[in-house]
Amino acid sequence: MHTPIQVNDPFALFNDYILMSKAISTFLLACMCCIAFSACQNDYEMPPFNCESVSEHFIFNEKTIPLKLVYSNLFRLETDSGNYKYLGMESISDSFKIVLNIHHGPYTSEQLASDSIPLGDYSYSTNRPTNTGSIAVGIKSQNGYQFLNIDTASIILSRINIKRQVVSGTFYFRTKDAITSTGTFNDACYLSLK
């Protein structure tokens, strides 16, 4: 037999309803975000911006593999400990995904506004506490990408044209299993996010 609920506070039921509505709204928003982000995880056809001048490739197991630029962004981060610039590039082939990341700084607020980043070697090593660059390399599988365990990496920026917003350079990586590879990117466009 069902017993009626006793409510001593007339607003308690209303407050519970409001809290439940907020919880449901938050849950539905989270579900929509998950659906939206998972829909974006398809194979790429073309870069999201017009970058016809780009030429990229890397050498893996003595085979030259051409790459397609998927995105390239220069963005800034202002923190209490300093202002930094980050350049991130993602490229793909039929079987690989390569992500190059560079960070540099600190900058003054005035310097941070520039679309430039210094030429030079941005490197990563598991033996060094501070790194200025990193590379992620994924090999395509049935379940997405299986990423290699990178031990050492280097990205050398050899040219940047802030008017055309393109960068050129080379990269190198070595895995913990002693697999090594080199690659180049020429006139890779970047989108400056301010």
The full set of domain ranges for the chain reads 7-42, 55-193
Measured CA distances, 107 to 43, 69, 87, 104, 113 (Å):
36, 28, 15, 8, 9
The residues that bridge with 86 in the sheet, in sequence order, are: 75, 103
pLDDT in the model for residue 130? 83
- pLDDT at residue 49 in the model: 57
Q: What's the maximum distance between 2 C-alpha atoms anywhere in the chain?
A: 80
Closest by CA to 155, choosing from 84, 91, 103, 95, is: 103
- Pull the structure tokens for residue 139: 């090999």
Instruction: Answer whether 58's CB lies under 8 Å from 181's CB.
Output: yes
Tokens found for residue 66: 């051409």
Residuewise pLDDT in 10s, the chain (194 residues): 555 555 455 444 444 444 444 444 443 334 343 333 333 444 444 444 567 888 999 998 899 999 999 989 999 999 888 899 999 999 999 999 999 999 999 998 889 998 889 999 999 999 988 899 999 999 999 989 999 999 999 999 999 999 999 999 999 999 999 989 999 999 999 999 88
H/E stretch holding 15 reads helix 12-39
Residue 170 burial (C-beta neighbours within 10 Å; 0-12, 13-18, 19+):
middle
CA distance 30 to 180: 41
Q: What is the pLDDT of residue 106?
A: 93
pLDDT of residue 90: 95
> Helix (H, G, I), strand (E, B), or coil: what is residue 78?
strand
pTM over cut 0.85 = no
Is the separation of the CB atoms in 87 and 101 below 8 Å? yes
